[in-house]
Amino acid sequence: MLDCKQASQIISQSLDRNLTIRERFALKLHLLICKYCKLFSRQMQILRVAIKQMSASIENNHKIEMPSEAKKRITDLVEAHSAQP
Amino acid sequence: MTTPNMHEWLNEHSDYLYRFALARLRDPHQAEDVVQETFLAAIKSPNFAEQSAPRTWLTGILKHKIIDVMRKSVREIAVSDLMNDEDANMDEFFDEQGHWTEKPQTWDMPTDALEQKQFLGVLQTCMEKLPAKAAQLFLMRDVHETDNEEICKELNISTTNAWVMLYRARMGLRKCLEINWIGN
């Protein structure tokens, strides 16, 4: 019988690899009787989605611009390289 | 002829490329650096003047530069610290019987835009609190969806090690979120 510590590890690993049949069965059994690990499992799903959303919100935020010093630096570098034969 | 063209590209695409990099690396300096490397690689490329879809082409170069940076930084932080992590116990989360010391709560996900923004803000703060190595590995896995085996090969660590690190990162994140967002 899994305890919550073991169950939470398997839940986390289920995001990273395929569980064995034995693990899946043991986890299912545990989740039937443990609402906290069920909540934990749901939290892990939410986290994964939220992390991706966070990346998307940065990528689509047009207020974020590259600092002008960096732009200047890159422009200068590009010019220096173009000047070369 | 080439310089004006590249200037146009800089004006048109550098902000986009910067955001693309920032979303994946979360470090402004690293993001600037990869954009810089991308433009330098582009100008050295013999066929850059013929690109009909420069943004797509530049983004393709950028992706490779981003992965290189992640590999390097994860490799730097990994080896010595990993050993500590593998042994690290999870006593702060579980009692001796393996039960949760603080029971996971129901997370009601925000539905309106403002709440969602607040939630992502808290998540960002919590990510920043993670140990750098854990955060990088986490991003590599969950944002880039890098294959686990590839991560392990890159870092020269066992898959078990990677699972332990990812597990710890997720446990740390959820705890931080329960305290700072769900709790208020």
pLDDT of res. B99? 92
Tokens of B162: 């990677």
Measured between beta carbons, the chain A residues lying within 8 angstroms of B109 are 46
- pLDDT tens, position by position, A7-24: 999 999 998 889 999 999
Looking at residue B96, the DSSP 8-state letter turns out to be T
pLDDT of res. B154? 67
Q: B53 to chain A, minimum CA–CA distance in Å?
A: 19
- Provide CB contacts within 8 A for B102, sequence distance 6+: B93, B175, B178
Tokens of B99: 């039960």
Is A38 a residue whose pLDDT tops 90?
A: yes
Is the Cβ of B19 closer than 8 Å to some Cβ of chain A?
Answer: yes
CA distance B140 to B90: 23
pLDDT of res. B127? 84
Tokens of A10: 């398997």
B115 phi and psi angles, rounded to 5 deg:
-60, -40
Of B18, B138, B174, the CB nearest to A43: B174
pLDDT of res. B182? 62
Neighbours of A58 (CB within 10 A): 19
pLDDT of res. A73? 94
Listed residue (B138, B141, B109) closest to B126, CA to CA: B138
User: So what's the ipTM on this one?
Assistant: 0.80
Q: What is the mean pLDDT of each run of 10 residues along chain B (184 residues)?
A: 71 94 88 95 82 88 87 64 51 87 86 82 84 72 69 70 83 88 58
Q: Judged by CB atoms within 8 Å, which residues 45-84 of B form the interface with A?
A: none
Test mutation, A66, A81, A84, chain B, max B CBs within 10 A: A66
Q: Is the pTM of this model over 0.80?
A: no
